[in-house]
Structure 1
Amino acid sequence: MSFSFVDLFAGIGGFHAALAALGGSCTFASEIDPLAKAVYERNWGTDVAGDIVELTQDRMGVPEHDVLAAGFPCQPFSKSGFQRGMDETRGTLFWNIARVLEERKPSVILLENVRNLAGPRHRDTTWRVIVRTLRDLGYKVSSEPTVFSPHLLPPGLGGRPQVRERVFITGTYVGRERAWAESPDAPLLLNRPIGGWDPQSWDVEHHLPLEDDHDIAGVDRYRLTPSETYWISVWEDLLTEIRAESGNAKLPGFPIWADAFKAVPEIEAATPGWKADFLRKNSAFYRQYRSIIDSWLARHDYLRDVPPSRRKLEWQAQDAASLWDTVMHFRPSGIRAKKPSYLPALVAITQTSIVGQRRRRITPREAARLQGLPDWFDFGAQTDAASYKQMGNGVNVGAAYYLLREHVLRDKDDIAKRAPHVVQSILSAPVSSDVALGGAGGDRVATTGILAPI
Structure 2
Amino acid sequence: MTKEILKKPIPDKVKTLIDYAQGEGYCNNILQGEATAEELLAILTHCTPLMPQKGVEEWQREMFRKACDYVYNAYEKIVPLDFSKVSGIAAESPLELDLFRDVLDVPFPAPEHPTFTFIDLFAGMGGFRLAMQAQGGKCVFSSEWNTFSQKTYFANFGDMPFGDITKEVTKSYIPDRFDVLCAGFPCQPFSIAGVSKKKSLGRETGFKDKTQGTLFFDVADIISRHRPKAFYLENVKNLTSHDKGNTFRVIKETLEELNYSLHYLVMDGQTYVPQHRERIMIVGFDKERYHGEENFEFPEQHQATRSVKEILDPNIDPKYTLSDKLWEYLQNYAEKHRAKGNGFGYGLVDLNGITRTLSARYYKDGSEILIPQEGKNPRRLSPRECARLMGYPDEYMIDKVSDVQAYRQCGNSVIVPLITAVSENIIKCMEA
Both structures adopt the same fold (TM-score exceeding 0.5): yes
Question: What is the SS of the residue equivalent to 1:405?
Answer: helix
Equivalence for 2:163:
50
Equivalence for 1:334:
345
Q: 1:11·1:40 contact (CA, 8 Å) conserved in 2?
A: yes
- When residues 189 and 233 of structure 1 are mapped into structure 2, their CA distance, relative to the original with a 3 A threshold, is same
TM-score by length of 2: 0.61
Q: What is the alpha-carbon distance in structure 2 between the residues aligned to residue 394 and residue 121 of structure 1?
A: 23
1:257 positional shift: 3.4
Q: 1:138·1:178 contact (CA, 8 Å) conserved in 2?
A: no
Q: Deviations for 1:246-275, whole angstroms, at most 9, x for unmatched residues?
A: xxxxxxxxx753784xxxxxxxxxxxxxx6
TM-score by length of 1: 0.58
Q: Larger relative contact order (C-alpha < 8 A, sep ≥ 6)?
A: 1
Mapped pair 1:401 → 2:424: no
Equivalence for 1:383:
402
Mapped pair 1:110 → 2:232: yes
Q: Deviations for 1:146-196, whole angstroms, at most 9, x for unmatched residues?
A: 101210x2xxxxx101111011111111229945xx699xx9448xx63xx
Structure 1 regions of 5+ residues with no counterpart?
77-83, 154-158, 236-254, 261-274, 279-311, 315-332, 424-454
Mapped pair 1:132 → 2:230: no
Pairing 1:283-432 to 2, within 5 Å after superposition: 314=343, 333-340=344-351, 341-350=353-362, 352=366, 353-357=369-373, 359-409=378-428, 412=429, 415=430, 420=431
Q: 1:6·1:27 contact (CA, 8 Å) conserved in 2?
A: yes
Q: 1:205 aligns with which of 306, 309, 314?
A: 309
1:212 positional shift: 1.5
1:140 positional shift: 1.0
Amino acid in structure 2 at the alignment position of 1:174: K
Question: What is the SS of the residue equivalent to 2:156?
Answer: helix
Q: What is the alpha-carbon distance in structure 1 between the residues aligned to residue 417 and residue 126 of structure 2?
A: 13
1:120 positional shift: 6.0
Amino acid in structure 2 at the alignment position of 1:94: F
Q: 1:227 aligns with which of 325, 345, 369?
A: 325
- When residues 343 and 172 of structure 1 are mapped into structure 2, their CA distance, relative to the original with a 3 A threshold, is same
Question: What is the SS of the residue equivalent to 1:257?
Answer: helix
Structure 2 regions of 5+ residues with no counterpart?
1-113, 193-209
Q: What is the alpha-carbon distance in structure 2 between the residues aligned to residue 46 and residue 8 of structure 1?
A: 13
Q: 1:37·1:48 contact (CA, 8 Å) conserved in 2?
A: yes
Amino acid in structure 2 at the alignment position of 1:148: M
Amino acid in structure 2 at the alignment position of 1:390: Q
Equivalence for 2:267:
148
Q: Which of 1 and 2 has greater Rg? A: 1
Q: 2:146 aligns with which of 33, 53, 70?
A: 33
Amino acid in structure 1 at the alignment position of 2:321: R
Question: What is the SS of the residue equivalent to 2:373?
Answer: coil
Q: What is the alpha-carbon distance in structure 2 between the residues aligned to residue 85 and residue 161 of structure 1?
A: 34
Amino acid in structure 1 at the alignment position of 2:425: E
When the two chains are superposed, the root-mean-square deviation of aligned CA atoms in Å is 3.1
Q: What is the alpha-carbon distance in structure 2 between the residues aligned to residue 258 and residue 72 of structure 1?
A: 33
Amino acid in structure 1 at the alignment position of 2:173: G
- When residues 31 and 398 of structure 1 are mapped into structure 2, their CA distance, relative to the original with a 3 A threshold, is same
Q: What is the alpha-carbon distance in structure 2 between the residues aligned to residue 90 and residue 373 of structure 1?
A: 35
1:227 positional shift: 2.1
Pairing 1:55-70 to 2, within 5 Å after superposition: 55=168, 60-63=172-175, 64-70=177-183
Q: 1:175 aligns with which of 264, 272, 288?
A: 288
Amino acid in structure 1 at the alignment position of 2:345: G
Amino acid in structure 1 at the alignment position of 2:237: R
Question: What is the SS of the residue equivalent to 2:166?
Answer: helix
Task: Name the count of aligned residue pairs.
Answer: 293
1:380 positional shift: 3.1
- When residues 176 and 406 of structure 1 are mapped into structure 2, their CA distance, relative to the original with a 3 A threshold, is closer
Equivalence for 1:6:
119
| Aligned sequence identity (%) | 32
Q: What is the alpha-carbon distance in structure 1 between the residues aligned to residue 237 and residue 212 of structure 2?
A: 17
Q: 1:113·1:168 contact (CA, 8 Å) conserved in 2?
A: yes
Amino acid in structure 2 at the alignment position of 1:62: I
1:99 positional shift: 1.2
Q: What is the alpha-carbon distance in structure 2 between the residues aligned to residue 398 and residue 132 of structure 1?
A: 29
Q: What is the alpha-carbon distance in structure 2 between the residues aligned to residue 24 and residue 382 of structure 1?
A: 27
Question: What is the SS of the residue equivalent to 1:376?
Answer: coil
Q: Deviations for 1:79-102, whole angstroms, at most 9, x for unmatched residues?
A: xxxxx4567999711111111111
Equivalence for 2:336:
257
